[in-house]
Amino acid sequence: MRVIGHVAVNVFKESVRDKVLYSLVAFAALLIGVAYLIGQLTAGQDVKIIKDLGLAAIATFGLLIAVFIGIGLVWKEVDRRSIYSLLSKPIRRHEFILGKYAGLSLTLIVNVAIMTLAFYAVLAYMNTQFSEASRSVWPAPATDPGMLRAIGLIVVELLLVTAIALFFSTFSSPLLSAGLTFGLWVIGHFNADLRNFEAVVESKTAAYLARGLYYVLPNFAAFDIKTQVVNALPVAPSYLAATTAYGLVYISFLLVGAVVIFSRRDFK
């Protein structure tokens, strides 16, 4: 664990210096700019739009960081041969992979935490712009802590995307890894359609294949509860727990796969 933590801190340090956190400036600028514009253009729906946009922006910026750093995590070390010196030290290959994953996860969590603070700060400011009467008709307060449930699942989703990107980066080029990761992310958001495939096709083979893919491919749609929290609709704690557990189990399988592939790899 000590070695994994040591590698993770190094990944975090590299990511921070690689100007990854600049994305936060872009996020804050986007949110404040859009809040100002909406304030000028709409009436009554301002806070809801800011909530929708803020949560979507957190998910999108996180996704970009997860994919674009995740795909280069292992590939860059191999391509630039920095892995040669590292693996000659007392570190096992699985510790390297888990340390890399933990480091990027830490970077993502810090990013999401800072974006969340900025998000709530903008909402708190918006809250001061309305009268008590206007606020009373909102489905939820501007700074509703219930939105943290959606942000929590966004974090689990990003950790899963990172694990997918890391898995592909153990054996393929960044371009291919990016394509495969984005592909899985897109398919994963339409995963529910595969489950109901048998209703629209007659071939049993195709139906079984679709059902098999439904179980094998990650179900990213399950992590999206943004609409529910923005509209203050109930989300059962058991749903949050089950979805988080699903994400963690999927991540575990991907990390085991990444470790197995990486442990057998020759660095020519």
Partner 1 sequence: MAAIRTEALTKHYRVGFWRPRPYVALEGLTLSVSEGEVFGCLGPNGAGKTTTLKLLMQLIYPTSGSAEILGQPVGDVRMKRRIGYLPENPYFYDYLTAEELLQYFAGLFGYAPAERRRRAAALLDQVGIGAERRMQLRTFSKGMLQRVGIAQALINDPEVVFFDEPMSGLDPLGRREIRQVILQLRERGCTVFFSSHVLSDAEALCSRVAILASGRLAGVGRLTDLVAFQARGWELVVGGLDDAALAHAKMTQLVVRDTPLGDRRYALEVPLSVSPERAIAELTGRGASLVSINPLRETLEDYFVRQVAAAPHERGLGTGT
> In the numeric block, which tokens belong to residue 166?
């890391």
Specify the length of the chain in residues.
Answer: 268
Between CA 34 and CA 58 the distance in angstroms is: 14
Query: Out of 36, 84, 190, 215, which residue is the one contacting partner 1 (CB under 8 A)?
Result: 84
Interactions with partner 1, residue window 89-108 (CB under 8 A):
89-92
Between CA 253 and CA 95 the distance in angstroms is: 16
H helix or E strand, kind and range, residue 78: helix 46-79
Question: Would you say the C-alpha torsion 61, 230, 159, 162 has a positive or negative sign?
Answer: negative
Residue 229 CB, nearest approach to partner 1 (Å): 37
Between CA 63 and CA 186 the distance in angstroms is: 12
Interactions with partner 1, residue window 3-42 (CB under 8 A):
3, 6, 10, 13-14, 17-18
Three-state SS at 254: helix
Residue 14 CB, nearest approach to partner 1 (Å): 5
Residue 201 CB, nearest approach to partner 1 (Å): 37
Of 104-112, 121-129, 157-165, 260-268, the segment contacting partner 1 by CB under 8 A is 260-268
Quick check: 41 and 79 in contact, CB under 8 A?
no
Of 22-30, 54-62, 80-88, 245-253, the segment contacting partner 1 by CB under 8 A is 80-88
Query: Out of 45, 60, 82, 203, which residue is the one contacting partner 1 (CB under 8 A)?
Result: 82
Residue 164 CB, nearest approach to partner 1 (Å): 24
Interactions with partner 1, residue window 234-253 (CB under 8 A):
none
Of 1-9, 123-131, 176-184, 201-209, the segment contacting partner 1 by CB under 8 A is 1-9
Nearer to partner 1 by C-beta: 48 or 94? 94
92 backbone dihedrals φ, ψ, rounded to 5°: -90, 155
Buried (b) or exposed (e) across 74-91, using 16+ Cβ within 10 A?
bbebbeeeebeeeeeeee
Instruction: Please measure the distance between the N-terminal and C-terminal CA atoms of the chain and give it in whole angstroms.
Output: 28
For the chain, counts of helices (H) and of strands (E): 12, 0
CB-CB neighbours of 119 under 10 Å: 24
Interactions with partner 1, residue window 169-198 (CB under 8 A):
none
Query: Out of 87, 110, 114, 207, which residue is the one contacting partner 1 (CB under 8 A)?
Result: 87
Nearer to partner 1 by C-beta: 18 or 193? 18
Nearer to partner 1 by C-beta: 9 or 213? 9
Query: Out of 1, 22, 40, 80, which residue is the one contacting partner 1 (CB under 8 A)?
Result: 80
Residue 111 CB, nearest approach to partner 1 (Å): 17
Q: Which residues bind partner 1 (CB under 8 A)?
A: 2-3, 6, 10, 13-14, 17-18, 80-92, 264, 266-268
